[in-house]
Chains A and B, each alone.
Chain A
Amino acid sequence: MKTQSDNLEQDKDLLEFRRLLSNGRCKVVDEVEPSPDFTSRVLLAIDESVEKNQRAEWASLASARNLDVSDIVEPKNDFSVSVLKKVKQTKRLSQIKLIWRYAAAAAAVLAIALLVIPEKHGARPVAMRTGPYSDRNLDEAKAFTQVDSAIDWLASHQEPDGSWAPKVVGGKEAFRPALTALGMMAIGRHAQERRSDAIKNAVNALRSMQQSDGSFNLDKQTQLYNHAFATYALIEHAKNNGAGLDEIIAEAIAFSVANQNPYGAWDYQKDGFGNAALTLWQVSLLIEANKLGWRDNDGALRRAVAWLKRESAKGVFDYRQTLDRQHASASGGIILTQLATEALVQFCNEKPSLNALAATAKTSFDTAYGRYTVRQLGKESALDSVLCKTFRGGEDFYPTLIALLSSRRY
């Protein structure tokens, strides 16, 4: 209980404290405001904490009935074949409806994959082994031969200034920085030594495309899109080659951070609500920059991850979030989910408040459905798609090129 003398003593100290600040001409800034999305992040963290406790309860219920916990846990964040197992056990009507949605999405992806494979390769794509996507029917030698051919094709279409020109195959000139970055990354990941000249020329091309504000772009409309790809490519190159790009990269990152929207995401324009693809590329580049020594002192990366968390309430991503968040567009959504979970698993290891997300993301990432999807797209179909439809932009190009980029030699 506060006594009158305590009041007086504290009031006296308060006067003295304020006098010290004013006499010392002490500069005092205004109190910090929380980020606009802080409250929603707190509430989301609480939801996840509640769910985690529920799962613990369900685990002990399952154990009591001699069942696997996946048999009774209601799917909230899984976009996976394990959902099918759960439904088989529980046979709930709402979950059966969910299966049909997933089946429809799977059929759509398979249809896309089959459509893009030319007849000479037959009806089934060659399965590949790429890190987590192991499969027994591997024809690795054939797959890598085709990768080499694709790289040679890419290198042969490089412009004298080191860039790749979208207009060559009917694409928009404005995307030249992004295309150059993607070409550079594809070659860098598969033919670092064999095509070192092509990589060096691409780096020089990107250097020449950097504007005075640190961005990589040729017009305002596509600025943030081009910038994300170009910055990521240069950071990846610097990480592997230590190529003396520090200043360029620092300016590029500063531009990225300055153009994050108040919700923590990136879009084609700074005042956009947020585009998952662009945000994922920015998140990925900041994660890579962190490995080069950049520190997230202003919280840009943390806010972006929080945005991704909110956008993935059901564990899937799409360019712009669908209303019910259970169904993603067949190609864009699946690939973005894959990219997102890779980025999030990398980022979440250190932060206790994001551990629950890391666990969920890893589960999504490792799901049978994810592996099935990438196998069906296959490296071969990705290459064919790149060769046949290269540089047009849009969904027919993007997911297949991402699949190609994701496939690395191990």
Chain B
Amino acid sequence: MDEDKIKSATDDEDVKLMLAVKDGDDQVFEQLVLRHQKPLLNFFCRLGVNISDAEDLAQLTFVRLYRYRATYERTAKFTTYLYLLARQVRIDEVRRQIKISKVKDAAKGVAEIFEAASNDKAPNSLQDDLQVALQSLDEPHREVVVLGMLRELPYQEVAEILKIPVGTVKSRMHHALKQLKKFLES
């Protein structure tokens, strides 16, 4: 399919740039930032992060991408690697916020961490119906919708980013769409 060819060519370009950075060509890193800054920023925004913090998280993601350049290997698509880092940055930041707000139980799972952090959210700049609908989902379901429906990453890639089986991605998506339908039609 033509669309697949285009996406594949885009990924090839990203990988080529990243490998050049790995080889020491720092100048091309800026191209990677320019190509992915907007989708990455909107990824965080759609997860419920306010735009100011979303830019910070996006910045941290790129810094981390650069820091790990020496270990980059083309074992997956570039966007898989990028969103894996992005997700980890978000988790680390939420953990840090929780530490700051002195939530006692540090051994919570990821979903519980996000729920606790959501008690102290700054207003999101994306004030639209879609965002309200997304906020009605819990974090694991919101993630699959943002990655699979808004970023339109293939389910296999979503599975790799979230470190869950493809089957789980599909069932979460199915559940999420059902929830969204209920919410939007109510």
Chain A positions within 8 Å of B, measured between CB atoms, are 1-2, 6-7, 9-10, 13-14, 16-17, 20-21, 23-24, 26-29, 31-35, 38-39, 41-43, 45-46, 49, 295-299, 302, 350-353
**CB pair B177 A17 closer than 8 Å:** yes
Interface size class for chain B?
35 or more
Name the contact of A298 in the complex, choosing from B52, B59, B127, B185 (C-beta under 8 A): B52
A96 CA / B155 CA spacing, docked (Å): 60
Contacts of A6 in B (CB 8 A): 154-156, 166
- 0/1 interface trace, chain B 39-65, chain A, CB 8 Å (1 if under): 001100100001110111011101100
A and B contact pairs by CB, cutoff 8 A, 12 listed? A2-B157, A9-B170, A13-B177, A20-B180, A21-B184, A33-B38, A34-B55, A42-B62, A45-B63, A350-B100, A352-B60, A353-B59
Docked CA distance A268–B93 (Å): 37
Taking a contact as CB atoms under 8 Å apart, the answer to whether B30 and A16 are in contact is no
- Known: A299-B51, A351-B56. Is A39-B37 also a contact (CB below 8 A)? yes
Contact B122 A10 (CB under 8 A): no
The answer, yes or no, to whether B66 is at the interface (CB within 8 Å) is yes
CB distance from A316 to the nearest CB of B (A): 24
Q: Which residues of A have CB within 8 Å of B185?
A: 23-24
- Give the residues in chain B near A297, CB-CB below 8 Å: 50, 52, 122-123
Q: CB distance B56 to A26 under 8 Å?
A: no
A42 and B33 contact, CB distance less than 8 A: yes
Is B34 a contact partner of A46 (Cβ separation < 8 A)? Answer: no
Write the chain B residue with the least CB distance to A41: B59
Residues of chain B contacted by A2 (CB below 8 angstroms): 154-157
- Bound-complex Cα distance A38 to B59 (A): 8
**Interchain CB contact under 8 A, A353 and B149:** no
The 4 closest A-B pairs by CB, nearest first: A24-B184, A299-B52, A26-B129, A27-B129
Q: Which residues of A contact B50 (CB under 8 A)?
A: 297
Indicate whether A13 sits within 8 Å of B125 (C-beta atoms), given known contacts A23-B184, A43-B30. no
B128 an interface residue at 8 Å Cβ cutoff?
yes
| In the complex, B181 has a CB within 8 A of chain A | yes
Q: Chain B residues near A43 (CB, 8 Å)?
A: 29-30, 33
A142 to B128, CA, bound (A): 63
User: Across the interface, do A13 and B59 meet the contact criterion of CB distance under 8 Å?
Assistant: no
